[in-house]
Amino acid sequence: MKTPALLKIAFIGDYLPRKCGIATFTHDVRIAVAKESHAECFVVAMDDIANGYAYENEVQFQVAEQELEEYHAAADFLNFSNVDVVSLQHEFGIFGGPCGSHILALLQDLRMPVVTTLHTVLSEPSQTQRAVMMQLVRLSTRLVVMTERCRQTLINTYSIASERVDLIAHGIPDAPDTDQRVLKEQFGVENKPVALTFGLLSPGKGIEYVLKSIPEIVAKFPDFIYIILGATHPSLIREQGERYRISLERMAKELGITRNVSFYNRFVELEELTEFIGAADLYITPYLNVQQAVSGTLAYAFGCGQAVISTPYWHAEELLADGRGVLVPFADSSAIAGEVIGLLIDDERRLSMRAQARELGRSMTWDHVSRLYVDSFNQARDQRSVFLKPLAVRTLDEHPLALPKMQLAHLQNLSDSTGIIQHAIYSVPDHAHGYCTDDNARALILTVLLEDQGRDSADVRSLASRYAAFLNVAFDRDTGRFRNFMSFDRRWLEDDGSDDSQGRALWALGTCIGRSRRAGLVAWARDLFHQALPACEQTTSPRTWALAIMGIQEYLRRYNGDRTAAAMSVQLANRLCDMYEAIATDDWPWFENIATYNNAKLSQALITHGRCSDDQRAGDIGMKSLRWLCEIQLSPQGRFRPIGSNGFNREGVEAAVFDQQAIEAHAMVSASIEAFAVSKDPFWNEQAHLAFDWFLGRNDLGQPIYDASTGGCFDGLMENQVNQNQGAESTLAFLLSLVEMHRLNAAIRFLTTSNR
């Protein structure tokens, strides 16, 4: 029986006008498949900026890459759109979650076959990358790779059955025959030898090594021109501006080759691109990553019949084999110069390469490639009885509960050029009480966690700089300690801050070092961290020790070989363990005779230290004390009831119920998430949600503590009412809890997918 025609195909990936290689590929393959299959082909586009891009009508659904719920919404949209097959473009970096794991939430809910094109296939993946890849493979009906090397890696590294893998080359346009002399005249390079590199500019492309080769080339060919075509990668622009391009321009000036180098800083359309390729005598692709699985720019240049000089990354090694191009070692300017000169001298060899490239390029045109994709889609549809998942109603116990949207309006309202203001009268900042190191440290941690989850923006980075600047001026380099309280007119109100402010500042610095990608912020924090660390040894507060341990363990994420920092973590953890063992009884398994404030942080610090340092004693004490804390902070109605600040909880005496503070809810959220990460025990997932739900109104008064209109948080729960002031400590407690709950939900979704 004849296979029925495909009627509707959905493509998932980045999409034009977003400027990246995946976006261009998704656009081109959609057009080619629509032409070949005559099916309705539409796009589900991934957005990396607020509100997305100005898409054309073929984009029917948009997903904010960091918003997990939008992946589920996209799956629902596709399920009810009568789609025959989904074509997913996969690259780890374009989806949210750890190693792009959010896409698994979409795939696990789809009811139609999925054909996944793998733009990256890692031979040595990290543990998380491997786990994501294995789930991606399981949820895909068929897989497409673009090189034989990638196919073999899938089979050998990931144990994928070869019959599920289709090898389809990167498509290229069917370039028209052009007169090179006319094109050279058009660009003003007639009678000059021209080399070209194009694509989005970023450090990994290795352009600097070509620039360093040019003095040797111009000694032989004084009129040689090297064209660097392409805009700087948008993500690099957001993080660093044009720093890389400017450095390349300055390098060209220092090398004395400004007459021989031309930068075209723009994203060119296909027609103009083919003209640039046609005007060039050579194409150079000096990438620095050997595991570059595919390069669209290489495929385009090669398919258009260019003579190519390339470093030996995977795609180039395969495409340029058997004399179809030239391979040079990575980061070897001398080798690049030698091959450029050799090919410009040897016209016969260069023209032979071009002829071979054009011949092979005929099998890479989108007309040919689209037929292979349609064949793969039809095979996937024929296999749907094997891979199709039944339509099922998702009950609440099958996936994490929804979370409020992250809103930073009130955080920004409390922050000025000095830092974050401590208190508020209702939602109005209260200047009379000025600022403190404690709150600015918390705020800095929040901004780095937002960055770590891909939620950073220009506003978040600006806030981070202000909070960092406050900590910088708060540190007294003569004493090695932080001052804490500053008046609104920027006068320090004390010479030395509390012990807790020392630990909390160190925690913020360690978080910057361990998680931020901002090189300047990391360098600043590293310098201050080393100056502030020794003072922690002299502190006497167990909460200071706990906060310092948290900071040290964050620091060790990046510098795990630092024996001094590791030894300090061991010393402080041992102090906490010794204190616990001196006080704890079967009925009172705690560190002190009274449980006061920020209690769960003591347990969390030991759990974290135990996990990272393989210290079973610390880990066991942390888990045991935290479980007890959960028990005594549970109301008769089964809701989270933090120990009240009006008396706390002394051994043998009933705990105070009010006032309940937001810092306690955050401490329990954070500690429970850490306990879950260690044990994977669902009990800790439940405890994290119980504590977080305190903010949402599941508390003794049944009143929400967070302000849904601003993302701020009220200052606590009193006996008969909510404290309506929205100060920094409470607001940051809520926002920190929210960002950590998003991380927990991502982990739960990933585990759920893995276990299905």
Distance, CA of 670 to CA of 599 (rounded, Å) = 11
Tell whether 3 is covered by a domain: no
Tell whether 156 is covered by a domain: yes
What six digits make up the tokens of 615?
């210290």
The domain of 96 spans 8-171+367-392
- Tell me how long the chain is: 756
End position of a domain, from candidates 376, 392, 408: 392
Residues 737 and 714 in one domain: yes
pLDDT digits (tens, 9 = 90+) for 521-560: 999 999 999 999 999 999 999 999 999 999 999 999 999 9
Indicate the pLDDT class of residue 270, thresholds 50, 70 and 90. Answer: confident
Tell whether 265 is covered by a domain: yes
pLDDT digits (tens, 9 = 90+) for 187-216: 888 889 999 998 888 888 899 999 999 999
Cα 307 to chain centroid, rounded: 37
User: Worst-scoring range by mean pLDDT, 139-143, 244-248, 443-447, 453-457?
Assistant: 453-457
Residues 435 and 469 in one domain: yes
Q: Find, among 401, 400, 407, 461, the residue nearest to 713 by Cα.
A: 407
Tell me if 506 sits within 8 A of 529, measured CB to CB.
Answer: yes
End position of a domain, from candidates 363, 379, 411: 363
What's the average model confidence in pLDDT over 511-518? 95
Indicate the pLDDT class of residue 290, thresholds 50, 70 and 90. Answer: confident
What six digits make up the tokens of 642?
């933090």
Residues 201 and 141 in one domain: no
Predicted confidence (pLDDT) at residue 375 exceeds the cutoff of 60: yes
Collapsing DSSP to helix, strand or coil, 707 comes out as strand
Average pLDDT, the chain: 92
Distance, CA of 98 to CA of 688 (rounded, Å) = 20
Indicate the pLDDT class of residue 643, thresholds 50, 70 and 90. Answer: very high
Residues 623 and 716 in one domain: yes
Residues 354 and 375 in one domain: no
Give 85's strand partners. 9
User: Worst-scoring range by mean pLDDT, 178-182, 580-584, 730-734, 736-740?
Assistant: 178-182
Residues 80 and 220 in one domain: no
Give 722's strand partners. 717
What's the average model confidence in pLDDT over 730-751? 90
Q: How far apart are the first and last CA of the chain?
A: 34
pLDDT digits (tens, 9 = 90+) for 104-125: 999 999 999 999 999 989 988 9
pLDDT digits (tens, 9 = 90+) for 23-79: 999 999 999 999 999 999 999 999 998 889 999 999 999 999 988 889 989 999 999
For residue 475, what is the enclosing H or E element?
Answer: strand 475-476
Indicate the pLDDT class of residue 753, thresholds 50, 70 and 90. Answer: low
Quote the longest CA-to-CA distance of the chain.
94
Overall number of domains in the chain: 3
Distance, CA of 300 to CA of 268 (rounded, Å) = 13
Instruction: Say how many C-beta atoms besides its own lie within 10 A of residue 302's C-beta.
Output: 32
Residues 472 and 539 in one domain: yes
Indicate the pLDDT class of residue 377, thresholds 50, 70 and 90. Answer: very high
Predicted confidence (pLDDT) at residue 264 exceeds the cutoff of 80: yes
Distance, CA of 730 to CA of 715 (rounded, Å) = 5
Tell whether 464 is covered by a domain: yes
Residues 137 and 235 in one domain: no
Tell whether 2 is covered by a domain: no
Tell whether 707 is covered by a domain: yes
Tell whether 1 is covered by a domain: no
Tell me if 120 sits within 8 A of 95, measured CB to CB.
Answer: no
pLDDT of residue 362: 84
DSSP 401-470: PP-PPP--HHHHHHB-SS-BEEEEETTEEEEEEEEEHHHHHHHHHHHHHHHHTT---HHHHHHHHHHHHH
Tell me if 459 sits within 8 A of 446, measured CB to CB.
Answer: no
pLDDT of residue 456: 82
Q: HSE-up of 204 (CA within 13 Å, CB side)?
A: 10
What's the average model confidence in pLDDT over 397-410? 79
Distance, CA of 104 to CA of 134 (rounded, Å) = 10
In the block, which residue shows the tokens 């000089």?
A: 309
What's the average model confidence in pLDDT over 244-260? 93
CATH of the domain at 655: 1.50.10.10
pLDDT digits (tens, 9 = 90+) for 331-356: 999 999 999 999 999 999 999 998 89
Residues 195 and 226 in one domain: yes
Distances (CA, A) of 119 to 147, 243, 290: 10, 28, 14
User: Worst-scoring range by mean pLDDT, 89-103, 139-153, 232-246, 554-568?
Assistant: 232-246
> Where does 276-325 show beta strands of DSSP type E?
282-285, 308-310
CATH of the domain at 189: 3.40.50.2000
Residues 689 and 545 in one domain: yes
pLDDT of residue 630: 97
Residues 210 and 275 in one domain: yes
Omega cis (within 30) before 659:
yes
Residues 541 and 410 in one domain: yes
Tell whether 731 is covered by a domain: yes
Indicate the pLDDT class of residue 749, thresholds 50, 70 and 90. Answer: confident
What six digits make up the tokens of 548?
């310092």
